[in-house]
Amino acid sequence: MSYSERVLRKKENVTGYLFILPTLIGFLSFVFGPMVAAVILSFFSWDLFTPPKFVGLGNYRALLGDEHLLSVYKNTLILVGGVVSLEIIGGLIVAVLIEQRILRSLKYFLRTTYFFPYVISATAVALVWHLLLNPDLGVVNYYLSKIGIDRINWLFSTQWARFSIILVETWKNIGFYIVIFLAGLQNIPRQLYEAAEVDGANRVQQFFYLTLPLLSPTTFFLIVVGLINAFQIFDMPYVLTRGGPGGATRTVVMYIYETGFRFFNMGYAATVSLSLFVFIAVLTFIQFRMSGRWVFYR
Amino acid sequence: MPQNTYRKRRLGLLWEIVSYFVLFFGALVILMPFAWMFSTSFGTAETAFSLPPRWIPNFFNTKSYRQLLEAVPFFRYMWNSFKVAALITVGQLVTCSTAAYAFARIRFRGRDPIFLLLLSSMMIPIQVTVIPLFILVRRVGLYNTHASLILPVVISAFGVFLLRQFFLTIPAELEEAARIDGASHFVIYFRIILPLSGPALSTLAVLCFLYFWNELFRPLIFINSIEKYTIPLGLVMLRGQYDVGSPTRTMAAVTLAIIPAVVIFILAQRYLVEGIAITGLKE
């Protein structure tokens, strides 16, 4: 390497670091720093007002014997399972139905409509649905009674309250899934369907043997992202059901919020949040390991 | 086999009808809550829960809006939300575009490991970092300020990723002439790359603004006085501790609260939808 080359190389290095400097500083102080701090905090008991007390693995031991934690994890798993499967299946069905329509303006109208709730805050959505789902005065039960379905106790019975969260969360997010599925569908070459038709494959066969495998990278992406987001569910249960009835819709993040910012149990809240992080990370890792079995890249 | 073709065509028509029905029924379910919200916001306490519901708003009855604006400083909330979301957006556009340029165009030592580290940070849930951040914010005296909401998020791994992917699609030949003439990276970034990146920057801006306009979790933790509330916080508090808030007033508030999102949605829908579709295609 000549002298001038070395000078040039060095100049590139300096310029590169100057360009990423704001992002780098931001990440060290607001993401990675706090991440490390959370780990340290998990070995302490601290209420913010008295000095922090080192408790070793005390918080982790408490984690294992915490019945509340068990129940919020159970609630979260139920909600996550319901939300993600409904969003994936519903989003896929609607996307496939939209994609086969011929009229372009209609396609555009439908995509726009379904996507709309995605840009509205979960808070606003939950406030509206809270009134719509009122068991006695709500619009939903009124129209259901018209088709002969008896009063459903949407928000105040254990099972229905969970189902309500799943429904409204899906209602809000389904447009996101539809938009991404549509983009994935448009990437599948038309000729494959023509060839399948010549070979006598009907619509159902085409869906299962062509669309589904060719769409699997998109589906995989949506499951990974959907799960990561769903595990952090907070706004919807916080506003729609306030975690009720009797804690049936209290989620892990609501528990972290209460532990940390209502009861100022900083060390334990940090420990619970780390458990959530590990949970999400392991789940994502497993998905990537298993993806080879069902995801096909062309 | 004419009979077979006939059956096939009839089945096709049936399929057509069923799928149209499903799609339009779904669209109705999506739109109905907004229609009800809008018409109820112009109702009175008596008509709020009238069944069958009123679908046509009575625009002359603006009592609930007047009540709302008398009860809480709602325009203040809107201004606060706008201020917070807009400043974060401007900040992210600057930090993400410079970093994305470096990751796409400058060969510096450690570039790829740093980029990977940045990407992997997207998996860290906000709940993990928010507890130490809360302690930090209190320590430096920023508790209950908008700065505590803005500063920690003027950087974004997602934004860097999105813009880098776009910058990579810009042909390098465009810069070659400039580089031969001795233009620095800053000049190339500012004069060539940025002007070509309108759509990508708009996508990031729209996604970022909406995200922070709608955000509830951090304001709930970092803000505690009414005059500093952002919209989602104001909405939650408006309902009251035991759901005693008047439904018409709440619906008036929700209607006002979503107007900016609706306007952005109408004006910038293309960037939103395309931006989201692009993120989905990067496996």
**How many CB atoms neighbour CB A86 within 10 A?**
18
Residues B12, B43 share a domain? yes
Residues A249, A188 share a domain? yes
For chain A, positions 44-103, list CB contacts with chain B under 8 A.
Answer: 48, 93-94, 97-98, 100-101
Residues A49, A66 share a domain? no
Residues B55, B78 share a domain? no
Q: Where are the beta strands (DSSP E) in chain A?
A: 44-45, 53-54
Residues B204, B88 share a domain? yes
Residues A130, A40 share a domain? no
Residues B48, B77 share a domain? no
pLDDT tens digit sequence for B128-159:
999 999 999 999 999 999 999 999 999 999 99
CA distances to A203, A207, A225, A293, B66 from A217, rounded to whole Å, are 21, 15, 12, 12, 51
Residues B170, B110 share a domain? yes
pLDDT tens digit sequence for A79-109:
999 999 999 999 999 999 998 866 778 888 8
Residues B76, B205 share a domain? yes
One-letter amino acid for residue A35 of the chain: M
Residues A46, A176 share a domain? no
Res A276: pLDDT: 95
Res B151: pLDDT: 94
Provide, as residue numbers in chain B, all residues whose Cβ is less than 8 Å from the Cβ of A273.
Answer: 125, 127-128, 130-131
Residues A99, A51 share a domain? no
Domain boundary residue, one of A58, A73, A97: A58
Range of the domain at B256: 67-281
Residues A181, A34 share a domain? no
Res B68: pLDDT: 87
pLDDT tens digit sequence for B92-105:
999 999 999 999 98
Provide, as residue numbers in chain A, all residues whose Cβ is less than 8 Å from the Cβ of B37.
Answer: 128
Res A163: pLDDT: 95
Count of H-run helices and E-run strands, chain A: 15, 2
The secondary element (H helix, E strand) that includes residue A294 is helix A266-294
- Please list the alpha-helical segments (H only) found in B42-156: 63-71, 74-105, 111-120, 126-139, 146-150
Domain boundary residue, one of A29, A58, A87: A58
Residues A109, A15 share a domain? no
Residues B72, B33 share a domain? no
Residue with the two structure tokens 């996307």: A95
Residues A254, A148 share a domain? yes
- A15 and chain B: CB distance < 8 Å anywhere? yes
CA distance A138 to A131: 6
CATH label of the domain that carries residue B275: 1.10.3720.10
pLDDT tens digit sequence for A56-83:
898 999 999 899 999 999 999 999 999 9
CA distance A133 to A226: 25
- A20 and chain B: CB distance < 8 Å anywhere? yes
Residue with the two structure tokens 């994502």: A284
CA distance A59 to A235: 26
Check whether A279 has a pLDDT greater than 90.
yes
Domain boundary residue, one of A58, A74, A93: A58
Kind of pairing between the strands at A53-54 and A44-45: antiparallel
- Which member of B22, B151, B236 has the closest CB to residue A123? B236
Which residues are A44's β-sheet partners?
A54
- Please list the alpha-helical segments (H only) found in chain B: 2-41, 63-71, 74-105, 111-120, 126-139, 146-150, 157-168, 173-180, 185-187, 194-196, 198-214, 217-222, 231-238, 247-281
Provide, as residue numbers in chain B, all residues whose Cβ is less than 8 Å from the Cβ of A280.
Answer: 123, 125
Q: Does B264 contact A15 at a Cβ distance shorter than 8 Å?
A: no
Domain boundary residue, one of B46, B61, B76: B61
- A236 and chain B: CB distance < 8 Å anywhere? no
- Contact at 8 Å (CB) between B97 and B163? yes
Give chain A's length: 298
Check whether A18 has a pLDDT greater than 80.
yes
CA distance A252 to A70: 9
pLDDT tens digit sequence for A190-214:
888 888 888 888 888 888 988 999 9
Domain boundary residue, one of B61, B78, B94: B61
- Contact at 8 Å (CB) between A186 and A99? yes
Record the tokens describing residue A16, joined without a space: 């590169």
CATH label of the domain that carries residue A272: 1.10.3720.10
pLDDT tens digit sequence for A141-196:
899 988 888 888 898 898 999 999 999 999 999 999 999 999 889 888 888 888 88
Mean pLDDT of chain A: 90
DSSP code per residue over A195-221? HHHHTT--HHHHIIIIIHHHTHHHHHH
Tell me the three state secondary structure of residue B59.
coil
Provide, as residue numbers in chain A, all residues whose Cβ is less than 8 Å from the Cβ of B121.
Answer: 27, 31-32
Domain boundary residue, one of B15, B38, B61: B61
Q: Does B30 contact A235 at a Cβ distance shorter than 8 Å?
A: no
Residues B98, B30 share a domain? no
Output DSSP code: residue A45.
E
Range of the domain at A17: 3-58
Tell me the three state secondary structure of residue A246.
coil
Residues B81, B54 share a domain? no
- Contact at 8 Å (CB) between A43 and A59? yes
pLDDT tier, B9 (very low <50, low <70, confident <90, very high otherwise): low
The secondary element (H helix, E strand) that includes residue A11 is helix A3-27
Residue with the two structure tokens 């009835």: A245
Number of domains in chain A: 2
Q: Does A238 contact B216 at a Cβ distance shorter than 8 Å?
A: yes
CA distance B210 to B146: 17
Res B269: pLDDT: 84
CA distance B211 to B219: 13
Residues A244, A130 share a domain? yes
Residues B56, B71 share a domain? no
- Dmax over CA atoms of chain B, in Å, equals 83
CA distance B225 to B148: 14
Residues B161, B25 share a domain? no
Which residues are A53's β-sheet partners?
A45
Q: Range with the lowest mean pLDDT among A39-53, A117-131, B163-177, B210-224? A: B163-177
Residues B15, B103 share a domain? no
Residues A170, A274 share a domain? yes
Number of domains in chain B: 2
Burial of B169 (0-12, 13-18, 19+ CB in 10 A): exposed
pLDDT tens digit sequence for B44-99:
777 777 778 888 888 888 888 988 888 889 999 999 999 999 999 999 999 999 99
- Contact at 8 Å (CB) between A133 and A236? no
Q: Can you tell me the ipTM of this complex?
A: 0.89
Res B56: pLDDT: 81
Residues A65, A115 share a domain? yes
Global pTM reads 0.90
Residues A194, A49 share a domain? no
